Amino acid sequence: MSAVPVLETRGLGRRFGGLQAVSDVSFSVPAGQVLGVIGPNGAGKSTFINLVTGHTKPSEGRVLIDGKDLTGARPWVIAQAGVARTFQIVKPFRGMSVRENVAVGILYGSNGTNVMSKALKAAEEVLEEVGMAGLGDRPPGELSVADARRLEFAKALALRPRLLLLDEVMAGLRHTEIEPSLELIRKLKARGITIIVVEHVMKAILAVSDQVLVLHQGKVLTSGDPRDVLSDPRVIEAYLGHRYVKRREGES
């Protein structure tokens, strides 16, 4: 394992007018780890992802990928460095089939092919991998919520990333639909991909994360071992809130 973290942020921040959406986030993700990122709505999780992937420019701080300073680089430059992400609000290319949507990623990815027939074949493999075999001919608009999220996942995987950022890929999924996504994350980790998982589903965070980062009002509230972090009273108070505490009491 390389000593250089796959991702390092230093004092990363972003203001939107008077709002400091992300503030002074300094954090490293070692190669091959799964980092869970949690925090209440509006905590700055998606903005953090956008800052890493170049979809939002930082107001302050640095972003290093594999030790290389890519602060403020355009999204495609960061993608070329092996970084792929999903969008919280799904963004399929609507004029194309599901398979073509994934093929675009294969054509674009650095390890891909530039032959369309090969790209479509490879796309089919990625669709199988995310549990969407048989849906390749569909228009993305016809997909269920779960499959629309899986398509986001597939489009990101098609880029063959080394660092994958997942922004609530399990949101809106039923209980039984979550396990296959967790299994897939474990499989990708076993392949050596470094993964950042933004998720509100705590069970999912606990199941896959090597470490957890908690954002609150744009700042790092705490980070560390998933179980320690999730039982930290500050986290429970800031994020999980009364409802969660009550549910836990109800369970025991």
Ligand X SMILES: Nc1ncnc2c1ncn2[C@@H]1O[C@H](COP(=O)(O)OP(=O)(O)OP(=O)(O)O)[C@@H](O)[C@H]1O
- Rounded CA separation 87/96 (Å): 18
Tokens of 86: 């999903």
Rank residues 127 and 156 by Cβ distance to ligand X and give the closer one.
156
Q: Which two tokens stand for residue 228?
A: 């320690």
C-beta of 42: minimal distance to ligand X in Å?
A: 4
Residue 39 interacts with, from Mg ion, ligand X, none (CB under 5-8 Å by kind): ligand X
Using the minimum distance from each CB to ligand X, give the nearer residue, 30 or 42. 42
Minimum Å gap between C-beta 2 and ligand X is: 29
Least spacing, CB of residue 23 vs ligand X, in Å: 11
Asked whether the beta carbons of 1 and 27 are under 8 A apart, the reply is: no
76: partner contacted, choices Mg ion, ligand X, none (Cβ within 5-8 A by kind): none
Instruction: Kindly tell me which of 9 and 88 has the beta carbon lying closer to ligand X.
Output: 88
**Residue numbers at the binding site for ligand X (CB under 6 A):** 16, 19, 21, 39, 41-47, 88
Among Mg ion, ligand X, none, residue 176 binds (CB under 5-8 Å by kind):
none
Residue 161, binding choice from ligand X, Mg ion, none, Cβ under 5 to 8 Å by partner class: none
Amino acid of residue 224: G
> What is the nearest approach in angstroms of ligand X to the Cβ of residue 59?
12
Smaller CB separation from Mg ion, 33 or 88: 88
Q: What sections of the chain are H helices per DSSP?
A: 45-53, 75-80, 98-108, 116-129, 145-157, 175-190, 202-208, 226-231, 233-235, 241-251
Beta bridge partners of 60: 13
CB of 166 to Mg ion, least distance (A): 11
Give the residue closest to Mg ion by C-beta.
46
Smallest distance, ligand X to C-beta of residue 111, A: 30
Which of 46/53 has CB closer to Mg ion? Answer: 46
- From the list Mg ion, ligand X, none, pick the one residue 181 interacts with, judged by a Cβ distance below 5 to 8 Å according to partner type: none
Residues that bind Mg ion (CB under 5 A): 45-46, 88
Q: Which does 114 bind (CB under 5 to 8 A by kind): Mg ion, ligand X, none?
A: none
Give the list of residues 6+ apart from residue 230 with CB closer than 8 angstroms, or none: 202, 205, 206, 212, 236, 240
Longest dimension (CA), the chain: 57
Q: 197 has which bridge partners?
A: 36, 166
Distances from the Cα of 47 to the Cα of 16, 53, 205, angstroms:
10, 10, 19
DSSP 239: I
Query: Minimal CA–CA distance to 104: which of 84, 88, 89?
Result: 84
Residue 191 vs 242, nearer CB to ligand X: 242
